Structure 1
Amino acid sequence: MATEVKVPVLGESITEATVGEWLKKPGDAVAVDEPIASLETDKVAVEVPSPVAGVMGEQVVKPGDTVQVGALIAIIEEGGAAAAAPKAAAPEPARAEAAAPAPKVEAPAAAPANDDHIMTLSPAVRRLVLEHGLDPSAIKGTGRDGRLTKEDVLAAAEGHKAETPAAAPAAATVLAPVGARKEERVRMTRLRQTIAKRLKDAQDTAAILTTFNDVDMTAVMEARAKYKDLFEKKHGVRLGFMGFFVKAAVMALKDMPAVNASIEGEEIVYHDYVDISVAVSAPNGLVVPVIRDAQDMSVATVEKTIGDFGKRAKDGTLKMEEMKGGTFTISNGGVFGSLLSTPIINPPQSAVLGLHRIDERPVVVNGEIVIRPMMYLALSYDHRLIDGREAVTFLVALKNAIEDPTRLLIDL
């Protein structure tokens, strides 16, 4: 009995996907709920499980094909056993004459070297012939059927050097280098296509401007060093920097609600909640899950949420609804070593905060030059909605909260 495997429901408003790869080959045994294929949607990769136990049958679609929700993609044959892998073909018996060295075959009468003759040689031999400027038709081949070997060419090159007088060599034709110059063409994943389209649409639609500031990380680093062990023991998660930045962003967004707003048609939509999108790394690129109601979360809850997002992004188990919405984005390029960047907003949001690596730099404090761990901050925003004054004020409020974390406790 055969069972049809169809594209499952992928989420609200998602009607199609791209076949990423087949995880099982025809003839392979499959168990109930074992993944047999992966599909790529606009957001994440989704695995398609087998509805029954049996044997992988016909694969109706190929990797790269676009399929609709509910479309037939494969057949599972129930009750059978996996087909045995075909036996490897027995090696061809060695020819008797191979036991003895092949006799040298005189090459035909010398003829002018030409490209056609060179192209019949193996790549390694052809490269040596070109490097030494030799005529392959004038070299005796000791390989099978009189073919030239690398040793033949090298021997001919040595003989050519011995015969050539020490006089200045005649001008030789300059040949293009011959080597392994490979190109590979890989179809863009649906996720990468969607990222590209959304980023370009953002540039075409919004009036994007970026403003910068820097922040002294001394206070946060000292607090983290002092409390990280107790924090992890109590909450079961490591104390990172993102918890501080999310809480500081929430406080700054309350002061500058336009940075947390969005444009819909000719209206500005202000939100009384803060849903922060955080960019996390996944195998197929960055994904941006959303921390809902960040204004109600503690630092510990933020760190737990981000840690869970990161783990499930690598596993490919993030859900569609977890990446929808968001009123503001934080992207931490510092984890990859970025010094400074101009991030692009994530529509319909109007602003994105870029974090960068921490470097020790000389700064002036109370009239003295001191070394402090500094980080550059970048806020890209839609100038149609957010003025420069609001953008700068937001960054200053964020900077003040990070440099004096006590402000986070008293909302100052």
Structure 2
Amino acid sequence: MSESVNLPALGESVTEGTVTRWLKQVGERVEVDEPLLEVSTDKVDTEIPSPVAGVIEEILVAEDETVEVGTALVRIGDGSGGSDAAPAAESEPAASEPEAVEPEAAAPAEPEAAPAAEAEPTPEASAPAASTPVEESSTPATEEPAAAPAEEDAPASAEAASAPAAETPSTEAPAPEEAPAAETENAPAEATEPAAPAAEEAPSETSAESDAHDSESEDSESDDSDSDDSDSDDSQAAYLTPLVRKLANERGVDLSTITGTGVGGRIRKQDVLEASEKASSTETPDAAPTAPAAREVSPLRGTTVPMSRLRKVIAERAVISMQSSAQLTSVVEVDVTAVANFRNSVKDKFLEKTGTKLSFLPFFALAAAEALTSNPIINATIEDNSIVYPPHENISIAVDTERGLLTPVIRDAAALDLAGLAAQIADLAQRTRDNKLTPDELSGGTFTLTNTGSRGALFDTPIVFLPQSAILGTGIVTKKPVVISDANGDSIGIRSMVYLALSYDHRIVDGADAARFLVDMKKRLEGGDFADKLGI
């Protein structure tokens, strides 16, 4: 008996999805909650898990095909109707052992169970599922449970086992090539992206406290790693992002020796870094190099790769937003020395209590959320000819992944303290890079925060994505000499400074509105009074 698996609801306002990759093939066994396929929507790329256990009998939707929510994707059953190898296995015992036809006819499902049941004396009999090119090594076909034949049917079972064994060479042909399956790719986590995993700890900032300014919005060396110069598009083993290859080459790491920890066993950038660290820890340190290493040339240079579906969606939305709204940007410079001093005084205790590093981003998020409550026009949206003021401040945090820019949402941000904001930022950013977010976690934002300074930029003019009306970009926190005015007059001192850039939709937000919002944030941050908002 088989059961259809339909495309589930993929989040608010999502009505369809595109099948980008099947992770299982016909004849393979799948367990409950094991990923079946990858689906892309206009909001997120996600894996669809199997709601039932069984054998895949028929794939109903091809890769790159777009279907509506509720459409049947695949049929999963007990295997009685899903494999072409089973009928072949039935025919040979029937021809060679006519007297066994009658007992076998009474139970038509038995011949299929027989080859699987004989997996112990005849290992090749379990190979048909292993011949599929996309099979993951973590789910070998031999794990498929099979009913043992009854004692009285043992002679017929032995005859049946010999026939599949004879067929094995043809179905087993691809098996020797499956060893490289461990050489998988794609680093979904922070490490896989061009934004290095160490970016959150040492984001190349110039100030002493900048090591913590590790916002989850990181600039990528490669915006799209969904396509590669791989020989085989069907095998995950052949798919390695240019960044992973480049890093392995720089570190002298043999990729064939690494077992990937990413989705489907793909090799992530973090896997390469860990392998490199292990290798260096076992070696005797050599003398410091006398000259810097030569600049590495990107493997993407001189190549042409197709845009991923997510990259196309981002491009389309950016163009539509720019053409449909009147966007401009206002910038203020903020002295965050008080924040830096407070952060330095509590960061060790904060890490001990919460397990999360205290960067500057939670301070910016808290100040923005509070300013939004006083300046609701920055948090508003346009619907037809009306301005809608939401009763909450849902802040989207821009996260740069190897698949493209994604914006998971912190809901009711104004109700959170620094510990709550830091925890949610870290959790959402990591799960975004690991492709483990639900579609609903990427929708419902009313305002966006992006850290453009995580790679050293002073500021930029970020694009507002509709239906939101504003987005705040935070630049790098850096120390520099500034004029300080106090009761004793003017003096010059070394201060920690940052630029805040607010892009907004001029259809409903005026320059004065933007300035009021930015000045509210400036006063809050320069005051540095966050002790009651620490949350530990």
Question: Are the aligned partners of 2:394 and 2:413 in contact in 1 as well (CA < 8 Å)?
Answer: yes
C-alpha distance in 2 between matches for 1:196 and 1:380: 18
Alignment-derived partner of residue 78 in structure 1: 78
Deviation at 1:296, TM superposition (A): 1.5
Give the number of equivalent residue pairs.
320
Question: Are the aligned partners of 1:239 and 1:303 in contact in 2 as well (CA < 8 Å)?
Answer: yes
Deviation at 1:349, TM superposition (A): 1.8
Q: List, as ranges, runs of 4+ consecutive aligned residues in structure 1 with deviation greater than 4 Å.
A: 79-82, 407-410
Alignment-derived partner of residue 271 in structure 1: 390
Question: Are the aligned partners of 1:27 and 1:82 in contact in 2 as well (CA < 8 Å)?
Answer: no
Aligned counterpart for 2:493 among listed residues 370, 395, 400: 370
- What is the one-letter code of the residue matched to 1:361? K
C-alpha distance in 2 between matches for 1:301 and 1:403: 22
C-alpha distance in 2 between matches for 1:264 and 1:349: 11
- What is the one-letter code of the residue matched to 1:387? D
Aligned counterpart for 2:516 among listed residues 393, 404, 410: 393
1:188 aligns to 2:308 (yes or no) = yes
Question: Are the aligned partners of 2:396 and 2:446 in contact in 1 as well (CA < 8 Å)?
Answer: yes
Alignment-derived partner of residue 162 in structure 1: none
Question: Are the aligned partners of 2:12 and 2:443 in contact in 1 as well (CA < 8 Å)?
Answer: no
- What is the one-letter code of the residue matched to 2:384? G
Deviation digits for residues 175-229 of structure 1, max 9, x if unmatched? Answer: xxxxx9964342531x333322222221112111101111223221211111012
C-alpha distance in 1 between matches for 2:387 and 2:9: 34
- Structure 2: which 5+ residue stretches go unaligned? 80-115, 117-125, 132-171, 177-299
Larger displacement relative to structure 2 (71-80 or 200-209): 71-80
1:14 aligns to 2:137 (yes or no) = no
SS in 2 for 1:365: strand
Alignment-derived partner of residue 224 in structure 1: 343
Deviation digits for residues 121-169 of structure 1, max 9, x if unmatched? Answer: xxxxxxxxxxxxxxxxxxxxxxxxxxxxxxxxxxxxxxxxxxxxxxxxx
Distance 1:4 1:262, change over 3 A: closer
SS in 2 for 1:227: helix
- Structure 1: which 5+ residue stretches go unaligned? 91-179
1:87 aligns to 2:173 (yes or no) = yes
Distance 1:315 1:370, change over 3 A: same
Larger Rg: 1
Deviation at 1:89, TM superposition (A): 11
C-alpha distance in 2 between matches for 1:88 and 1:300: 52
Distance 1:7 1:403, change over 3 A: same
Question: Are the aligned partners of 2:336 and 2:528 in contact in 1 as well (CA < 8 Å)?
Answer: no
- What is the one-letter code of the residue matched to 1:18? T
Alignment-derived partner of residue 198 in structure 1: 317
- What is the one-letter code of the residue matched to 2:66? T
Distance 1:297 1:64, change over 3 A: same
C-alpha distance in 2 between matches for 1:181 and 1:205: 35
C-alpha distance in 2 between matches for 1:182 and 1:329: 35
- What is the one-letter code of the residue matched to 2:450? S
Taking the TM superposition and a 5 Å limit, the aligned residue runs for 1:157-168 are: none
Deviation digits for residues 77-103 of structure 1, max 9, x if unmatched? Answer: 52565515332699xxxxxxxxxxxxx
Alignment-derived partner of residue 97 in structure 1: none
SS in 1 for 2:477: strand
Deviation at 1:353, TM superposition (A): 0.5
Q: CA RMSD in A?
A: 2.7
- Calculate the TM-score normalised by the size of structure 1: 0.70
Alignment-derived partner of residue 59 in structure 1: 59
- What is the one-letter code of the residue matched to 1:209? L
Distance 1:88 1:64, change over 3 A: closer
- Calculate the TM-score normalised by the size of structure 2: 0.55
Higher normalized helix content (fraction of residues): 2
Alignment-derived partner of residue 33 in structure 1: 33
C-alpha distance in 2 between matches for 1:352 and 1:181: 33
Question: Are the aligned partners of 1:206 and 1:383 in contact in 2 as well (CA < 8 Å)?
Answer: yes
Question: Are the aligned partners of 1:276 and 1:292 in contact in 2 as well (CA < 8 Å)?
Answer: yes
Deviation at 1:26, TM superposition (A): 3.8
Alignment-derived partner of residue 233 in structure 1: 352
1:302 aligns to 2:425 (yes or no) = no
